[in-house]
Amino acid sequence: MHDTEPDTFVLQSWPEKFSDMLKEIGIESSPKDIGTDQVENGDYYSRYFAHTARMITNRGTLDVKNSNIDVIQIIQKG
């Protein structure tokens, strides 16, 4: 390893990573556990159109504070 790289790596989930990125631009948020929010229930895309993705992975949610946005859901198409 190079001298500029840290010796230890902090293992973070996707919601924790996004929460840290939002904190850098001044937005206060807190990560939630996967499957604990009501927004995570149900389909992510409509099944009536052929071009929509069928396989979606839920990566978790964030609670956003002091904003008009309540929850951010992180999903992955694939």
Q: What is the pLDDT of residues 11-61, one digit of tens each?
A: 888 999 999 999 999 999 999 888 888 887 876 666 666 666 566 788 889
5 within a domain of the structure (yes/no): no
Cβ burial of 19 (10 Å; 0-12, 13-18, 19+) is buried
Could you list the residue range(s) of the whole structural domain that residue 51 is in? 14-77
Task: Indicate the DSSP class of residue 42.
Answer: S
If one counts every other C-beta atom within 10 angstroms of the C-beta of residue 44, the result is 14
The more confident residue out of 70 and 42 is 70
Would you say 62 and 31 are in contact if contact means Cβ atoms under 8 Å apart?
yes
63 within a domain of the structure (yes/no): yes
67 within a domain of the structure (yes/no): yes
